[in-house]
Amino acid sequence: MRLGAVGDVIRALPALDLLRRTFPDADVDWLVEERCADLLQGHPDLRQVVIFRRKALVRAASRLRLLTSYGELRRTLAALGEARYQTVVDLQGTLKSALLSRATGCPIRIGLAAGHAKEFAHRFYTQCVQPSRGRISRVERNFQLLSPLGVDPGVQPPPRARIFLSETHRAWAVGVLASLAPADRPRVLLYPGTSRRQAYKRWPAERFGTLAGRLHDDGVQVLIAGGPGEEELIRTVCEATSTPPAVVPSSDLRQLAAVLQGVDLFVGGDTGPMHLAWAVGARVLGLFGATDPVVNAPYDARQSGHRVLYAGPESRPYRVKGEQARQWMEAISLDDVHRACGEMVQPRP
């Protein structure tokens, strides 16, 4: 169970890989909210994707359609109970996910211990896991949550995130890249956005624009992508340079994943698309300030060559917001980002 968000679901995928290798004959389902469900579709390690329609519930409740909301929730809880699961692993650790785990009636419910689970969620688990130390990668913490099942995270090759793309997704990406950035030069994709609620994670848009111009002068093909509602942000980036990057058309998550498979470098903040780039094998230059890179940087167990630029203090809270986050993000210099791009992107023969 990992309901959301996009980056957190992606970072839970290596735990699924580890679980499947340990129990090759088990039936494994995944409970997830509708926004992230597409990431899991077609995954061969899953029997089915069970969707918790949170948005539909909230929308019905906000319109005072309480009977509709109650009926939807009741159907979801009944389906969880009827599945007769033997074990639930809650990788989310919130009251919402803990209550859903309890609704399964499952005899073994594994989750985070007090001090790590949120909103007293630990009270709903039958087995609580105390992470080995406070600041560890979310991927490693997910591995530790599987420890009551006797899994070995040290298996070789290391567990990895896998996202399965259809031929339709791949063909769409091939067409986009062929029209925007032919393969004769390196491709760098800039992702300046975040969710509106997490705008404090953004590096200044104008610097992305200047970076795009510098990379163009270096002989690099520069692309830019964004999510719904980020059109104005992308426009700001493009207006900050005389050589604006090519804009990737609006896409769903797996279309974006297919595009990312075809680029040489992803540059952006701590967002779902950054983790998506990591999952599909693109090199990542992560710009961190608002969130802790120890916890949230691309997991690099296979020494994949990712890099993080971080300008905050070594000892810091997990997350900062507002003016402090803005200052730490702005402390990441344009020169440092440009230099790192040059070191990470190799000219094509």
Question: CA 33, CA 100: separation in Å to the nearest integer?
Answer: 12
Third-level CATH fold of 167-344:
Rossmann fold (3.40.50)
Give residue 227's identity as a one-letter amino acid code. G
Six-digit token string for 5: 């968000």
pLDDT of residue 309: 96
Q: Would you say residue 349 has pLDDT above 60?
A: no
* C-alpha 232 chain-centroid distance: 23
CA 49 distance to own-chain centroid: 18
Q: How far apart are CA 9 and CA 136, in angstroms?
A: 17
Query: Can you tell me which residue has the tokens 């426009």?
Result: 235
Distance between CA atoms of residues 15 and 11, nearest Å: 8
Which whole number is the average pLDDT over 248-268?
96
Q: What's the average model confidence in pLDDT over 158-182?
A: 95
Q: Are 252 and 224 in contact (CB under 8 A)?
A: no
Structure-block tokens of residue 110: 């594994």
pLDDT band at 323 (very low <50, low <70, confident <90, very high): confident
Which one has a higher pLDDT value, 13 or 77? 13
Least confident of 7-21, 120-134, 207-221, 303-317: 303-317
Which pTM was predicted?
0.93
190: confidence class by pLDDT, cuts 50, 70, 90: very high
Helix (H, G, I), strand (E, B) or coil at 24: coil
Containing 139, the helix (H) or strand (E) segment is helix 138-145
CATH assignment of 6-149, given 3.90.79.10, 1.10.150.20, 3.40.50.2000, 3.40.190.10? 3.40.50.2000
Please determine, for residue 269, whether its predicted confidence score (pLDDT) is greater than 60. yes
Task: Return the pLDDT at 60.
Answer: 58
Q: What pLDDT score was predicted for residue 135?
A: 84
Round to whole Å and give the CA distance between 68 and 259.
39
Give the contacts of 346 (CB within 8 A, at least 6 positions apart). 186, 264
The predicted-structure confidence for 90-142, as pLDDT tens digits, reads as follows 999 999 999 999 999 999 999 999 999 999 999 999 999 999 877 899 999 99
**For the residues 144-162, what does the mean pLDDT come to?**
93
Give yes or no for a contact between 306 and 275, defined as CB atoms under 8 angstroms apart. Answer: no
Q: What's the pLDDT score for residue 290?
A: 87
Q: Count CB neighbours of 128 within 10 A.
A: 19
322: pLDDT confidence band, cut at 50, 70 and 90? Answer: confident
92 within 8 A of 52, measured Cβ to Cβ: no
246 phi and psi angles, rounded to 5 deg: -75, 130
Distance CA 299, CA 277 (A): 12
Lowest-confidence pick of 1-10, 61-70, 139-148, 198-207: 61-70
State whether the Cα torsion 256-261-266-268 is positive or negative. positive
**Start and end residues for every CATH 3.40.50.2000 domain found in the chain:** 6-149, 167-344
First to last CA, the chain: 45
Q: Band the pLDDT of 69: cuts 50, 70, 90.
A: low
Q: Find out whether 115 and 134 touch, Cβ atoms under 8 Å.
A: no
- Whole-number percent of the chain with pLDDT over 70: 93
Average pLDDT across the chain, whole number:
92
Check pLDDT > 70 for residue 61: no
Length of the chain: 349
Cα–Cα distance, 154 to 149 (Å, whole number): 15
- Pick the closest to residue 188 from 277, 267, 278, 241 (CA basis): 267
